[in-house]
Amino acid sequence: MENAIQDLVKVFLKSTKGKESLGKNQFQNLVKNQLSNVLSDTESKEAVNNMAQGLDANQDGKVGFEEKKIEEATS
């Protein structure tokens, strides 16, 4: 489990190219390229956009680790 989490963080950081969050297109590329073997509809822009909106706690149009941690802490 620890290795899977480390891999997830590495992929996310590589995708963000040193930034704190992923924009809409970056998130779509991440889902399509890295998660297509475990998720359905990764080719559907609408499905990926809906997923991103669900993860975008502060509604800034970006997906980041920090906002997800804050959302979980306040739930």
CATH code of the domain containing 57: 1.10.238.10
Q: For residue 25, what are the domain limits?
A: 2-74
Q: What is the pTM of this model?
A: 0.75
pLDDT at position 72 is 53
Q: How confident is the model at residue 69 (pLDDT cuts 50, 70, 90)?
A: low
Q: Contact 12/65 with Cβ under 8 angstroms?
A: yes
Q: What is the mean pLDDT of the chain?
A: 83
Q: What is the largest CA-CA distance in the chain?
A: 32
* Contacts (Cβ under 8 Å, ≥6 apart) of 51: 31
pLDDT per residue as tens digits for the range 26-53: 999 999 998 888 888 888 999 999 989 9
pLDDT at position 50 is 92
Please give the tally of structural domains in the chain: 1
- Distance between CA atoms of 30 and 62, rounded to whole angstroms? 13
pLDDT at position 18 is 82
